[in-house]
Amino acid sequence: GRGAEVFPGNPPICPYLHNVYVTFSNRKVTLNENNLNPTKNKIVIYNPEKKKISHLSMIVTLPSNLARITNITPLNGLTFTSKNISAGAASFMIHNIPTDNPAEVLEIVEIDVVPWTIGNTTSKGVLTVSNLSIFDDQNRNADLKYTERYGVAEYTVIRSSETITISHTNQITQKPTEIVTATPI
């Protein structure tokens, strides 16, 4: 199925539990402190059993000393019921997800991330889905399980060195020219 494109080695599905899997379109991201253009990363829900999902709420966290979330945009015609963005986290709710033809793979939001421009080293951290609540079309918790195995994206920020290189110019000293005076004979 399409899940193999999003989730390498399709996650195992237990027939006794309804599972959804959440992941990011970019699981490993490298940022450069000098790049001020936000890096886009989509959050994707994999729903292999095509269960009806009518609304959801989610919290995404990112270490605030590494990078910061600057914007979050709903995808595929979805709209936010509420959203909140801080330096190291974003939370949102989406209602009225169409349930007439549930998708196996659904891109729900796109998050913009930029690095903090402090320090002089390489720093790593993870963008994590720290909370996900999903409800079915009858407005009840759908008992859908999700795994944290896929709900993280590794971020690396490469910061330029602050070492100052001093260029040294050699000075050439020229000997004065010896003036010979001729003595008349």
Which has the higher per-residue pLDDT, 171 or 127?
127
Q: What is the pTM of this model?
A: 0.73
- Name the residue among 144, 62, 55, 150 with its Cα closest to residue 108: 55
pLDDT for 125 equals 85
Based on DSSP, count helices (H) and strands (E) in the chain, helices before strands.
1, 11
Q: What is the pLDDT of residues 61-76, one digit of tens each?
A: 988 778 889 999 999 9
